[in-house]
Structure formats: C-alpha cells, structure tokens
Amino acid sequence: MQNRGLWIALGLLPLILLAGLIGVFVVKGTGIEAEPAAPVEVVEFQKVVLTPGSFDITLRNSGPGEVTVAQVMVDDAVWNGTVTPSQTIPRLGTAQLQIPYPWVEGDPYEIKLITSNGLIFTHEIPVATATPEMNGETLWSYGLVGLYVGVVPVALGLLWFPFVRRLGKQGMHFLLAITIGLLIWLLVDTTLEAWEEAAEAPVGLFAQPLVVLIAFGTFLLLQRLGESGDNKASGLRLSFLIALSIGLHNLGEGLAIGSSFAAGEAALGTFLIIGFTLHNITEGLGIIAPLANQRPPFRYFVLLALLAGGPAILGTWIGGAAVSPLFIAICLAIGAGAILQVIVAVSQFMRKEVTSTVNWLSWSNLSGVGLGIAIMYITKVFI
C-alpha cells in the first residue's frame, strides 16, 4: 500500500511542479516589458435577425481579451444600439445587440461596430428581408423541403433495384465500384464543407483542428463497432451503413438549405432544393448496390430511404434556427468520418468476393469508381 502511494505521488510530481511554474509566471510575469503595437480584438456577427423596425444581432468576442463596443453605425451613420448584458464582452463571450432601425424590404445595409480601441468590424446585409419565425407552419414547410430533397430522391433511386438484381457478378462489382466513386465524392465534398464552416467559427475555439479530430475519431469508432466475429459484413448490413453515411451527408445539405432561408436568401434556398434533389437520386443507386444478389422485404427499402433521406428534414429544421457554424462543422465532420468508414467497408466487401474471374483492381472496377465520381460531379454542377 505504501509503495502504491509513492507510485501515485511520483506520477503527480511533474504536474505539481508544472502548476507551480505557471503560478510563478502569473504572479511575477515573464520579465519582458513590451506593449503590443495595436490591440488584438475580434468581434464576430454570429446571427443577424431582421424584424420590423429592428436589427437583432448576436455578437461573439473571439479575441484574446475582453472587448467594449463603443459605437454602432448603420450605413456610415451613427445609430443608437443596445448591447446586453453589457457593452463589455468577455473573451469567447456573447452579447445581444439590438438596433432600432426603419429598414426597407429589399434594400442593402452595412452595420459597423467600433470598439473602445477604435477597431471597426463590419457586417453586410445584401438584401434586407424579415427573418422567418420558427413556428408550426415554418417547421412544416421546412420538413416538406427536407422530404423533397432527401427522402423522395433517394426513394426514387431505390427503384433501380429490379434492374440491379439482373446484373451478374461482374455487373454487381461494377455497381459497387460506382458506389465507391459516389462515396469518394461525398467524402471530399463533406470534408470541404466542414472545413469552410469551421473557418467561420470563433478563432479561439480552434474549430478546424477539431473538425479533423472528430472526423478521424468517428471513422475509428465506426470501424471498431463494425468489426464482427468473422469480420464479414452482409450485403444488407452494408446497405444500411451506406444509407447511414449518406444520411449524415444529407444532414449537411439540409443545414445549408435551412440556413439559406433563415438568412432571407429564398432564391438561393430554392436553387439548392432543385440541385440537391437531382444530386441525391444517384445516392439510391449506391445504397442498393450490395443487395444485387438478395431479395429483402419491402420494409427494408422504406427504412433505407428514411435513414438516408430523413436527416435532410432534421437538417432544414436545425439550419432554419440559424445555429452556430461550429455546430454545423461538427455535424459535417461526423458525416465525413462515417463516409470514410463506409468506403473501407465497401472495399472489403468487394475484396472478399474476389475470384479468379473477378479482379479487385480490374479496369472495369476502376472505371466504375471514375464513373461514380463523374456522376456526382455532373449533378453537383447544377447546385
């Protein structure tokens, strides 16, 4: 028992000494006297809500120290604004800025904040329009949009199943190769979207490294959960994995559509609906590829369509609430990790069925991967 206590003490000793060293720096300082050439302040406009006669803005201080909002300007004119709970925002803290202003529908506006140190932060509103309120009618409308974008096109893609069942072994492998190509495109697309959203998050939260770690952690977790006793995935189980990964990707698409409408960009939101609907019908083909030599009950196709397309409904609701870029980046990072794991699973599924007549890296399979990427690229062009 005494040896165990000594062992624990030796383990804690470096941490105790480190805490003491940090304490010395805090109390005594570094001994280097230098003033920064200019104050380092960062104020971000996290959410801007337009209501009749008012701009309601959520501010976040992502700089290294506290920030005091000294003045508010709208279109280069000094304007009254109320900052709550205080004009001084602590590091990584948020505040609500309410600006009473008789804005006109369709007009552009520029809002400026001037801090006590004279730094200026700007937010542009290209076209002023009232921000939709989240009520029962709005939720229903957003839900229908998610249904049209996610569930319906994926379900239409599943209708290719009778055609797929008539394919032979070579044809099934070609279709699985197309699925890998589809997933590779989704992986790259989701990763880039997560990276862009992370770049919009407060600097002090280090969102971009977090995105990489979450994606990698999701991949490792799903890879571990996906291992079975014989390390062999059935075709039906693989289809559900593909549907899950596509569903996480479609969650991101729903977030994009919902946030577009929440920001008052109705034209962009409608354009995204058309593009994503066209884009998602090809995903149904990838889901049914592992089922080419099976005949699952009809209820499984319903579950697959809901699993792959349903998250788009949830995404439009979340995006319509104008959530933070960090939350969106985390969701997309989870989707990227899941898609990567499914690519590995599909590849393993194909390799275990390699025979003397079916080569894993045949020209047919490689061309299938290229075709899958090309299909996703061509449909993405319309978004």
CA pair distance 261, 277, nearest whole angstrom: 17
Q: 204 and 302 share a domain?
A: yes
Helix-strand-coil split of the chain, %, nearest 5? 60, 15, 25
CA pair distance 99, 54, nearest whole angstrom: 6
- Long-range own/partner contacts, residues 356-362 (CB < 8 A, 24 or more apart): 357/169, 357/170, 358/169, 358/170, 358/173, 362/173
Q: Of all residues in the chain, what percent carry a pLDDT higher than 70?
A: 83
Handedness of CA 148, 331, 270, 130 (dihedral sign): positive
178 Cβ partners below 8 Å, 6+ apart? 285, 286, 289, 368, 369, 371, 372, 375
CB distance 318 to 258 below 8 Å: yes
Number of neighbouring beta carbons within 10 Å of residue 80: 10
Q: 283 and 199 share a domain?
A: yes
Q: 213 and 118 share a domain?
A: no
**For residue 260, what pLDDT is reported?**
67
CA angle 217, 223, 226 (to 5 degrees): 140
Q: 211 and 188 share a domain?
A: yes
Q: What does the pLDDT look like over 367-378, one tens digit per residue?
A: 888 888 888 788
The neighbouring-strand residues paired with 180 are: none
Q: 284 and 357 share a domain?
A: yes
Q: 77 and 167 share a domain?
A: no
Largest CA distance in the chain: 78
Q: 92 and 184 share a domain?
A: no
Nearest CA to 48 among 34, 33, 58? Answer: 58
CB distance 69 to 87 below 8 Å: yes
Is residue 34 included in any domain, yes or no?
A: no
What token pair was written down for 12?
A: 């804690």
The letter for the amino acid at 227 is: E
Is residue 31 included in any domain, yes or no?
A: no
Q: Which domain holds residue 117?
A: 43-125
Place of tokens 């959410």: 47
Q: What is the DSSP string of 230-280?
A: S----HHHHHHHHHHHHHHHHHHHHHHHHHHHHTT-HHHHHHHHHHHHHHH
The total of structural domains in the chain comes to: 2
Number of neighbouring beta carbons within 10 Å of residue 321: 16
Q: What does the pLDDT look like over 8-36, one tens digit per residue?
A: 777 777 878 777 777 776 666 666 555 55
Q: 203 and 315 share a domain?
A: yes
The CATH number of whichever domain residue 59 belongs to comes to: 2.60.40.1890
80: left (phi over 0), alpha (psi -120 to 50) or beta: beta
* Residue ranges in the chain whose pLDDT is less than 70: 1-2, 25-39, 134, 168-169, 203-204, 226-233, 260-279, 322-323, 352-361, 382-383
What token pair was written down for 62?
A: 């992502």
CA pair distance 215, 192, nearest whole angstrom: 12
Place of tokens 């709005």: 138
Q: Write a three-state SS string for 317-378.
A: HHHHCCCCHHHHHHHHHHHHHHHHHHHHHHHHHHHHCCCCCCCCCCHHHHHHHHHHHHHHHH
| Reported pTM | 0.69
Nearest CA to 289 among 321, 348, 242? Answer: 242
Q: 110 and 162 share a domain?
A: no
Q: 89 and 174 share a domain?
A: no
Q: 112 and 174 share a domain?
A: no
What token pair was written down for 174?
A: 């070609």
Domain endpoint, select from 125, 149, 165: 125
Domain endpoint, select from 125, 151, 185: 125
Is residue 18 included in any domain, yes or no?
A: no
Q: 222 and 332 share a domain?
A: yes
How far are the Cα atoms of 70, 157, 309 from residue 80, in angstroms, in the given order?
11, 55, 46
CB distance 278 to 379 below 8 Å: yes
Q: What does the pLDDT look like over 195-210, one tens digit per residue?
A: 888 887 776 678 889 9
